[in-house]
Amino acid sequence: MSDVREKVARKNAALLHSAAGQGNSDKLKKLLDLGVDPNVRKEDGEGRRWTPLHTVIHAHGHGEREEDNFEYPCEHEGRTACVRLLLEAGASPNALGEPEPAEPEATYVPLHAAVLRGLLDVSKELINAGADVNARPSGIAPIDCAAFAGHVDCVALLLSKGALVNRRCQIHDDNSSALGFAIKSRLVPSPRLLRVVGRLLRAGAEIPLATEEMAALAESDPRRDYLQRVSAAGGFPAYEKQHREKLVATLAPKFVHLLPTELVAVVITFWAPVGLR
DSSP states along 81-132:
HHHHHHHHTT--TTPPBBPPTT-TT--B-HHHHHHHTT-HHHHHHHHHTT--
> Which of 19-33, 41-55, 132-146, 217-231 comes out lowest in average pLDDT?
41-55
* pLDDT at residue 231 greater than cutoff 70: yes
Percent share of the chain, pLDDT over 70 = 82
What is the average pLDDT across 253-273?
Answer: 69
What is the average pLDDT across 133-152?
Answer: 93
Q: So what's the pLDDT on residue 275?
A: 63
* pLDDT at residue 146 greater than cutoff 90: yes
Residue 133 resides in a domain: no
Q: How many domains does the chain have?
A: 1
Residue 41 resides in a domain: yes
For residues 244 and 54, the model is more confident at: 54
Please state the φ and ψ torsions of residue 102, each to the nearest 5 degrees: -70, -20
What is the average pLDDT across 154-164?
Answer: 97
Residue 68 resides in a domain: yes
Residue positions counted in the chain = 277
* CA distances (Å), origin 186, targets 66, 109, 191, 277: 13, 24, 11, 19
* pLDDT at residue 44 greater than cutoff 70: no
Residue 89 resides in a domain: yes
For residue 74, name the pLDDT band (cuts at 50, 70, 90).
very low
Q: What is the pLDDT of residues 235-260, one digit of tens each?
A: 989 988 888 788 777 777 777 667 77
Which one-letter amino acid corresponds to residue 95? A
Contacts of 214 (CB under 8 A, 6+ apart): 183, 208, 224, 227
Q: So what's the pLDDT on residue 86?
A: 97
Which one-letter amino acid corresponds to residue 136? R
Residue 115 resides in a domain: no
Q: So what's the pLDDT on residue 129?
A: 97
- Distance separating alpha carbons of residues 58 and 48, to the nearest angstrom: 12
Residue 193 resides in a domain: no
The domain spanning residue 89 has which CATH number? 1.25.40.20
Residue 164 resides in a domain: no
Q: So what's the pLDDT on residue 268?
A: 65
Rg of the Cα atoms in the chain: 22
For residues 202 and 266, the model is more confident at: 202
Residue 79 resides in a domain: yes
For 20, the domain range is 1-99
